Chain A
Amino acid sequence: MSTIAMGHAGTEAAPAEKKGLWSWITTVDHKRIGILYGVTAFIFFLLGGLEALLIRWQLGAPDKTFLSPEAYNQLFTMHGTTMIFLGVMPLSAMFFNYFIPLQIGARDVAFPRLNAYSYWVFLFGGLVLNASFLFNAAPDMGWFAYANLTSKQFSPGLNVDFWIIGLQILGIASLAAAVNFFVTILNLRAPGMKMMRMPMFVWMSLITQVLLLLAFPIITVALVLLMLDRNFGTHFFVPSGGGDPVLWQHLFWLFGHPEVYILILPAFGVVSEILPVFSRKPLFGYAAMVFSGCFIAFLGFGVWSHHMFSTGLGPMADTVFSLGTMLIAIPTGVKIFNWIGTVWGGSIQYKTPMYFALGFVAMFIIGGLSGVMHASPPADLQQTDSYFIVAHFHYVLFGGSIFALTAGAYYWFPKMTGRMLSEGLGKVHFWLMFIGFNLTFAPMHILGLNGMPRRVYTYSAGMGFEFWNAIETAGSLILGFSFLVFIVNILKSLKSGEVATADPWHGATLEWSIPSPPQEWNFAVEPTVDGRDPLWELRRANGGTLPEPARVSGKGIHLPSPSYWPIVTAFGTAMTLVGFLMHVTLWVILAGLAITMIGIFSWAFEPADH
């Protein structure tokens, strides 16, 4: 029998909430850090979306001169880099931050100040990357930065350097956060929450952290080598000195393929939370969902060369990487079938989060199927680097990740803010996004198969590409508009939305047992768990309803104190790396190191309460 305290730890008035900018800068509360991640990532996401709209406008008709080739190349590079590292990953991090502790019944993450540090490093990394626009030197060689185009000879500007330094800073943020969530999930679960009782979102988050821990060191090393090549005279990727541009491709995709799963596994987790709640029945095949997630992650490290079939790896390598890639279709298929199995026989509650979660399943199927097609090297030799691939990964990362993360936003918004989002606007948002998305990306399949290459700033009239490109551009405007509806919905709701109860959706997991928004200490009394759907079990035992948990005073609950040392240390870290932007700027590096050191020492010896 699960025990979850329904607010009898005292009924005095809660202490005044901490307010003001300073409280946000010094916060170590995982919920506030989650909100910081969410707001920051959403702004970057909108920036990446704006870049996409400019790209689409340029491609709306043949031979357009709306953007110069240089501007276009910067925009498509920054669009990809932004959406991956500053959009989808930190939006996932918002949910990791806010909901991993709540779902496992913990008071905070394992290392609250490290958590704050991760956020600030992420913010500075995103700012450094985008500062390149101010110097008219935004990265312009694609988010994959293939050598030897990235060598000083062919890319003499600072564009590549901004990309290297920006990504190195962001990598530190990701690694620190991954350590934190990994330890949190393994060590801070509520009594009774065995591994096989964890909510599926926590499971998928755990697997994602493992991927981050294993994949990010690879790109870190690759970026160091690239930096050495560019600024310190080495030749890791430069053939004239005995280096090999193909080595870069191996290193990049050895990171880059797991990265794809870093982007999609949290989405799997979010959807696996939402489908059961709005079908009113448990997740179908829990164990299969866990193991298929592990299997996908494991295989994800062994298939990188399917990004490289056109490099001419030889028939044996092509065969092995092809079969490995096809194998991934099996656990992915299991997941899709289990999601349908979850809905099957349920009593589907058509609320906005469910719309987006179902949209995810429907779109992800398409992305999965096109993925199987180019798992086959012969087919891929025609499809790779064409718009067919652009269609494929947008079905996976937009139709997949973004639909799922939006579902998560609608699902958890009431918990995070204490307000409901408007269902009406939510459904308008969904249909605009669904239609706009498909108009934008479905025709790309046709264009790719009919020979339109990717990463081209324009195309000639007479190639047959005009019609579908015009449709896509129109679709992208609808897609962009759908996010305006979302923003209006959020702002309206924050101002005058319906007040959310603790459990507006009849959720199954622990976060719904505490008030919306949760109090700073999350759980006044540590919950105990003896099933996979603790709140459902409690509700059933309680005759179908649960009392609204009261807000409590939290007297005597120890919480980590706020600290400004994480932001100081993060600033020092970013500054140190920025010192390598233009070869070696010694004073910047030394000052950055000094700030970092002061930050770490002060952090370590900071009194617990002050």
Chain B
Amino acid sequence: MALRLPSLRRAARWVPALCITLAMLALAGCSTDGYPQTTLAPKADFAELLDQVFRRSFQLATIVFFLVEGALVWALFRFRGKPGDAEPEQNHGNTMLEVVWTAIPAVILVFIAVPTIQVIFKTAETPTDNPLVIEVTGHQWWWEFRYPEYNLVTAGDMHVPTGRTVDLRMTTGDVVHSFWTPQLAGKRDVFPGRDNRLWFKTETPGTYPGQCAEFCGTQHARMAFQVIAQDPDAFDAWRGGMAEVGAPADSGGSAPSPLVAQGQQLFATKACVGCHVVTAVGAPTMVGPNLAGIGTRSTIASGWLPNTDENLARWLKNPQEVKVGVLMPNLGLTDEEITALVAYLRSLSVVPAPGAVAMTAAGN
């Protein structure tokens, strides 16, 4: 078959247009706007350190890319064979040249290796500036956060104060996971029986999404969480509020509405308490996430569904349909029971609600 194709020379006419298109796409690719989980806009010291090394290696790689690909492409046009060409010079190599181009990459690598080693050791240090210790535990498929300093436990939303180093002690309740909030720090895997460390300090209040980065089974994709960085006052208000959540009404809380009371009753009788606890202070680790503050948490189902009444109801109706594979079974609840339970869960709110702070600074 004689399929006629544009010759190289004719194709070359499109090179400028192609270059401009590619450059525009590359520029579009460089923008981090609209990527709340980007690694390229660090908002904490740890991520900043990683970013410095990345930028150095990216710049050098870009230079090498253009030089080497440029040489290749130039050669492809320059040394294009034509019919009747004589046999080209049969050279077998050039020792001098080969030594030089062995040495040059070695030198370039030194410029990456030096900051690399500096940052490796810097990030391996244990923080000593009175850090806030948070114990992180990965579970299939949610994250648990424990604050020994305040004897608090929560899940899904990790609240941290700005201006204070957070020292994470990390492990897993089941399989290997990896804790990753790109704007704050790199990944750190969590292993059963091991205490892995990571730390960061951010000065910028905001909500920083993160998610599990090590494949951990069916719902690995839906194992997200958020780090909510608040100025110290707001953080203290949050933990104060957390201490109140779920406390029995007779210990100072206002009397619940009949619907909430019905929900509370159901919660106690419908197997919920087998896996969940609704108070944060001194609560044990259970099979399911701690629910203190669930009423004002930003998401349910591990950072996936917005925490609306409709989504909560959908979840209670049949968790397996919303998120197949989760441990929570279908409890066979009636719509009426679900309404009551939703009202009860909504009542498990932190006062003042952290949402006002949490929702503003996402992704900037």
Known contacts A330-B102, A446-B29, A450-B37: A69-B88 contact under CB 8 Å: no
Complex alpha-carbon distance, A450 and B36, angstroms: 8
CB distance from A161 to the nearest CB of B (A): 17
Of the candidates B85, B175, B219, B325, which one forms a contact with A149 in the assembled complex, judged by CB atoms under 8 Å apart?
A: B175
User: Is A350 an interface residue when CB atoms closer than 8 A count as contact?
Assistant: yes
Of the candidates B93, B112, B187, B224, which one forms a contact with A382 in the assembled complex, judged by CB atoms under 8 Å apart?
A: B187
B-chain residues with CB within 8 Å of residue A154 when the two chains form the complex: 140, 174-175, 217
Complex alpha-carbon distance, A149 and B191, angstroms: 11
Q: Are A361 and B72 in contact (CB under 8 A)?
A: yes
B-chain residues with CB within 8 Å of residue A326 when the two chains form the complex: 109, 112-113
Q: Are B32 and A450 in contact (CB under 8 A)?
A: yes
Of the candidates A333, A381, A425, which one forms a contact with B187 in the assembled complex, judged by CB atoms under 8 Å apart?
A: A381
Q: Are B120 and A329 in contact (CB under 8 A)?
A: no
Of the candidates B39, B88, B221, which one forms a contact with A459 in the assembled complex, judged by CB atoms under 8 Å apart?
A: B221
User: Is B5 an interface residue when CB atoms closer than 8 A count as contact?
Assistant: yes
User: Is A142 an interface residue when CB atoms closer than 8 A count as contact?
Assistant: yes
Complex alpha-carbon distance, A358 and B217, angstroms: 40
CB distance from B80 to the nearest CB of A (A): 5
CB distance from A234 to the nearest CB of B (A): 17
Known contacts A279-B79, A315-B124: A451-B105 contact under CB 8 Å: no
User: Is A318 an interface residue when CB atoms closer than 8 A count as contact?
Assistant: yes
Q: Are B221 and A149 in contact (CB under 8 A)?
A: no
0/1 string, A521-556, CB within 8 A of B gives 1? 000000000000000000000000000000000000
Q: Are A453 and B81 in contact (CB under 8 A)?
A: no
Q: Are B91 and A345 in contact (CB under 8 A)?
A: yes
A-chain residues with CB within 8 Å of residue B217 when the two chains form the complex: 73, 141, 149, 154
B-chain residues with CB within 8 Å of residue A175 when the two chains form the complex: none
User: Is A9 an interface residue when CB atoms closer than 8 A count as contact?
Assistant: no
User: Is A463 an interface residue when CB atoms closer than 8 A count as contact?
Assistant: yes
User: Is A97 an interface residue when CB atoms closer than 8 A count as contact?
Assistant: no
Complex alpha-carbon distance, A155 and B117, angstroms: 39
Query: Which parts of A238-256 form the interface with B (CB within 8 Å)?
Result: 239-240, 245-246
Which of B53, B58, B176, B215 lies at the interface centre, i.e. has the most chain A CB atoms within 10 A of its CB?
B215
Complex alpha-carbon distance, A294 and B233, angstroms: 61
* A-B residue pair count with CB separations less than 8 angstroms: 292
B-chain residues with CB within 8 Å of residue A343 when the two chains form the complex: 72, 75-76, 79
A-chain residues with CB within 8 Å of residue B36 when the two chains form the complex: 451, 462-464
B-chain residues with CB within 8 Å of residue A346 when the two chains form the complex: 79, 81, 88
From A373, which residue of chain B is reached at the shortest CB distance? B57
CB distance from A297 to the nearest CB of B (A): 17
0/1 string, B64-108, CB within 8 A of A gives 1? 110011011101100111100111111111100110011001100
Q: Which of A186-194, A284-292, A405-413 lines the interface with chain B?
A: A284-292
Of the candidates B52, B88, B119, B215, which one forms a contact with A455 in the assembled complex, judged by CB atoms under 8 Å apart?
A: B215
User: Is B218 an interface residue when CB atoms closer than 8 A count as contact?
Assistant: yes
A-chain residues with CB within 8 Å of residue B220 when the two chains form the complex: 73, 455-457
Q: Which of A107-115, A221-229, A364-372 lines the interface with chain B?
A: A364-372
Q: Across the A-B interface, give the 9 residue pairs with the lowest CB-CB distance, nearest first.
A: A381-B186, A451-B37, A424-B3, A347-B81, A456-B221, A450-B35, A464-B35, A315-B124, A285-B93
A and B contact pairs by CB, cutoff 8 A, 18 listed? A73-B217, A154-B174, A281-B91, A311-B189, A333-B101, A338-B93, A344-B75, A349-B81, A372-B112, A376-B113, A378-B54, A382-B186, A382-B187, A386-B213, A424-B4, A427-B5, A453-B212, A468-B29
* Given contact pairs A383-B54, A424-B2, a sample of 9 additional A-B residue pairs in the complex whose CB atoms are under 8 Å apart: A245-B191, A282-B90, A315-B121, A349-B81, A365-B65, A381-B123, A386-B213, A446-B29, A455-B215
